[in-house]
Homo-oligomer: A and B are copies of this chain.
Amino acid sequence: MKWNELKDEACPVARGLSVVGDRWTLLVLRDCFQGIRRFDDFQTRLGITRHVLADRLKKLQDCGVLERKLYQERPPRHEYLLTEKGLALHPVLVSLVHWANEWTPQPRPGGMRLVSRTTGEPVEPLLIDRQSGEPLTPRSLRTRRLD
């Protein structure tokens, strides 16, 4: 298994990581979900090198997670927006946030919590099966090859 060929693997984890497994990529997407759209804003918030940022934005466009849209002519300026495919990554980020808040040391004083946008109440993400409503756990699941 080679890193540049992950996208052709049978395993969906490998295929997913071919898109979001690069260093910085998920942090770029985090900023997208927080409304960041412009090159320099990403760069300032992430402290990432401009070189790597340009590379990641390009790869995310190429695989359809971000869309590059002209928002001004003369001089031409573009902004980066999440596509439907990009928005669908939300549960991955939310699961990661929840795990980090539960299991990694919180910095003082500035923790961050997921809250409902309407009520402001804290939220506790739980993964269930849409059909049965049952929680999905390592024991309740397995993977199956379809040939």
Contacts and interface: CB of A to CB of B under 8 A. Distances in A.
Interface residues of A, number: 85
A96 interface: yes
B117 A142 contact: yes
A144 interface: yes
Interface in A92-130: 92-105, 107, 109-118, 120-121, 123-130
Protomer copies: 2
B127 A91 contact: yes
A70 interface: no
Contacts of A89: 99
A13 B110 contact: no
Given A100-B12, A143-B34, A143-B112, A136 B117 contact: no
